[in-house]
A and B are shown apart, each in its own frame.
Chain A
Amino acid sequence: MTIHTEPLKSVSDIERTTLMTFLPGRIATVFGGRRWRSLAPLAVLIVLCVLIAIANPNFIELRNLVRLANSAAVPLTLAMGLTFIILMGSIDLSVEGTLSVAAMVVVLLAANDGNGNDYGWWAVLAAVVAGTAMGFVSGLVQTMLRIPSFMATLGMWFIGLGLSVYMLGGSAIRLNDASIRDLALTRFLGLPLAVWVATGAFLLAAIIQYHTKLGRHILAIGGDEDVAKLSGVNVVRVRITAFALAGFFFGISGVLAAAQLGQSHAVIGDGRLFAAVTAVVVGGTALTGGEGGVVNTLIGVLIVTVLANGMILLGISPYIQQTVQGLMIIAAVALSLDRVRLRIVK
Chain B
Amino acid sequence: MNEAFSLRRIFEGKWTQGAIPLVLLVVLLLIIEIAAPGFLTGETVALLFANTAVLFILATGVTFAILLGGIDLSIQAVASLASVILAQLLPSLGLAAFPVAILSGLAFGTLSGIVHVKLRVPSFVATLATGGVVTGIALWVSDGRAITIEEGGRENTAWINATVAGLPVVVLISAVIGIASFLALRYTRFGRQAIAVGAGEPAAWAAGINVDRTKIIAFAASGMLAAIAGVVLAARLSSGSPVLANQLLLPAIAAVIVGGTAITGGLGGVARTAVGALIISIVRIGMTFVGVNIFLENMVFGAVLIAAVAITIDRSKIAVIK
Contacts and interface: CB of A to CB of B under 8 A. Distances in A.
B129 interface: yes
Nearest to B120: A345
Among B265, B303, B319, max chain A CB count under 10 A is at: B303
Interface string A146-165: 11111110111111011101
Contacts of A277: 125, 128
Contacts of A225: 320, 322
A148 B318 contact: yes
Chain B interface residue bracket vs A: 35 or more
A321 B136 CA distance: 6
Among B134, B299, B309, max chain A CB count under 10 A is at: B299
Given A161-B298, A329-B125, A329-B132, A147 B309 contact: yes
B169 interface: no
Contacts of B293: 166
Given A155-B306, A330-B115, A89 B322 contact: yes
A346 interface: yes
Contacts of A157: 302
A163 B299 contact: yes
Interface in B111-140: 115-117, 119-126, 128-137, 139-140
A146 B310 CA distance: 7
Nearest to A267: B243
Contacts of B309: 145, 147-148, 151-152, 155
A320 B143 CA distance: 10
A147 B121 contact: no
B313 interface: yes
B296 interface: yes
B194 to A, nearest CB: 13
Interface string B305-322: 110011001010011111
A154 B126 contact: no
Interface in B32-86: 68-71
A330 B302 contact: no
Interface in A302-345: 317, 319-327, 329-330, 333-334, 337, 339, 342-345
A244 interface: no
A324 B322 contact: no
B250 interface: yes
Contacts of B319: 226
Contacts of A170: 295
A337 B125 CA distance: 12
B319 to A, nearest CB: 8
Tell me the dominant secondary structure on chain A's binding face. helix
A215 interface: no
B201 A344 contact: yes
B99 interface: no
Interface residues of A, number: 55
Contacts of B274: none
B202 interface: yes
Given A146-B315, A319-B139, A326 B302 contact: no
B298 A323 contact: no
Nearest to A85: B322
Interface string A126-154: 00000000000000011001111111101
Contacts of B135: 322-323
Contact of B310 (A147, A274, A322, A326): A147
A292 B125 CA distance: 17
A226 B320 contact: yes
A147 B119 contact: no
B263 A330 contact: no
A287 interface: yes
Contacts of A142: 321
Contact of A334 (B70, B119, B296, B315): B119
Given A91-B125, A226-B319, 5 more contacts: A145-B310, A146-B310, A320-B136, A322-B132, A325-B132
27 contacts: A88-B322, A145-B310, A150-B71, A151-B263, A152-B309, A154-B253, A155-B305, A156-B306, A159-B303, A165-B298, A166-B299, A225-B320, A274-B128, A289-B322, A320-B139, A321-B136, A323-B134, A323-B136, A325-B132, A326-B129, A326-B131, A329-B125, A330-B129, A333-B125, A339-B120, A346-B69, A346-B265
Interface of B: 68-71, 115-117, 119-126, 128-137, 139-140, 143-144, 201-202, 250, 253, 263, 265, 293, 295-303, 305-306, 309-310, 313, 315, 318-322
